[in-house]
Amino acid sequence: MPTFPLTLPAIKVSQPLGEFFVVTLDAATLRQVTFLDATRIDKVDTKEFWYSLLGTQRQLSLPRAKQIAKYINTVEAAFPNSIILAANYINYGELQEDEDKRWRIEVGKDSLFHLVIPSGDTMASVIDGQHRLLGFDYCDLEKKTMQLLCAVYMDLPHAYQAYLFATININQRKVNKSLAYDQFGYNFDDEEKDGWAPDKLAVFFTRKLNLDPKSPFHGRIKVAPMNADLLFPEGNPPDWQISTACVVEGIAKLISRNPKMDRDLLHKKTIGARSRIQLLKDSSPLRELYCPLQGKNHRL
């Protein structure tokens, strides 16, 4: 457990909305000193047809948090994006005015900034990153020491908290699923085939189907990365195409009822220690070819 007060090196960042300070905190401590404040209706005026809100976050989803926890338990877990905090709020909206309890910024003799957290009291609202943080409630104990990047606003008014949350989430675009699947192929050569998760093996077969002239899908699987035309420089545009994601997911379902669960289980081990023998039996059609079951050793 941490010893308070905590004094953390901080980087000051100035932007039009206001300044914030970048620090790192381990997940367990961060979970202790922050609260998750979902948006909810506060007051309703039926005469004026008006209502006010409290909180700035989306409703919590425990299934999503538990899914993130499985990712946290893997050896490749990474959260490079910052968790955004509004410091010095208590009781889900009330500004902390006790100077002895408030988080504060100090400037040292070296002219460097430091964030001082006086106690383990809950003193900051999570503006963005609530499900990442909630995932640590369900992960393995040793993973709770993971360091997390935080962007801390001091005394940021609720209206600006809500604006910041809305701006971040409204402007987000989902990553192209085909491009995301293609990324699984970056390290084919670095990992033994026996350790490939279902979706990674499916990416391998998808590329084979696209490039093999004898394949019915030859040149018809749409590739997401730039310069995809380099794969077929002299070919005419096909009369029909299918996305990489569609083919990958179709193949993966033939060998796994839950590809993501299988991937998370394999990725709890380091690359050299992964083996499909670790996976559980399921009823997918080609499961026995993917991993050994009931004494059989057929493998793809």
> What are 57-110's pLDDT values in tens digits?
556 788 999 999 999 999 989 999 999 999 998 866 678 989 999 999 999 877
Q: For residues 166 and 89, which has the higher predicted lDDT (pLDDT)?
A: 89
Which of 170, 203, 236 is the last residue in one of the domains?
170
Which of 170, 201, 224 is the last residue in one of the domains?
170
User: Would you say residue 80 lies in a domain?
Assistant: yes
How many structural domains is the chain composed of? Answer: 2
Average pLDDT, the chain: 84
Report field, pTM of the whole predicted structure over 0.85:
no
The verdict on 40 and 132 lying in the same domain is: yes
What is the extent of the structural domain holding 214?
178-290
User: Would you say residue 66 lies in a domain?
Assistant: yes
The verdict on 247 and 286 lying in the same domain is: yes
One DSSP character per residue, the chain reads -PPSSEEEEEEEEEETTEEEEEEEEEHHHHHHHEE--B-EEEEEETTTTEEEEE--BPPP-HHHHHHHHHHHTSTT----SPEEEEESEETTTEEP--TTTS-EEEE-TTS-EEEEE-SSS--EEEEE-HHHHHHTTSS-GGGGG-EEEEEEEES--HHHHHHHHHHHHHS--PPPHHHHHHHGGGGGGGS-GGG--HHHHHHHHHHHHHH-TTSTTTTTEE--STTGGGGSTTPPPPS--EEHHHHHHHHHHHH-S-HHHHHHHHTTS-GGG--GGGSPP---TTHHHHS--TT-----
The verdict on 160 and 184 lying in the same domain is: no
> What are 246-283's pLDDT values in tens digits?
999 999 999 999 998 998 899 888 888 889 988 988 99
The verdict on 11 and 136 lying in the same domain is: yes
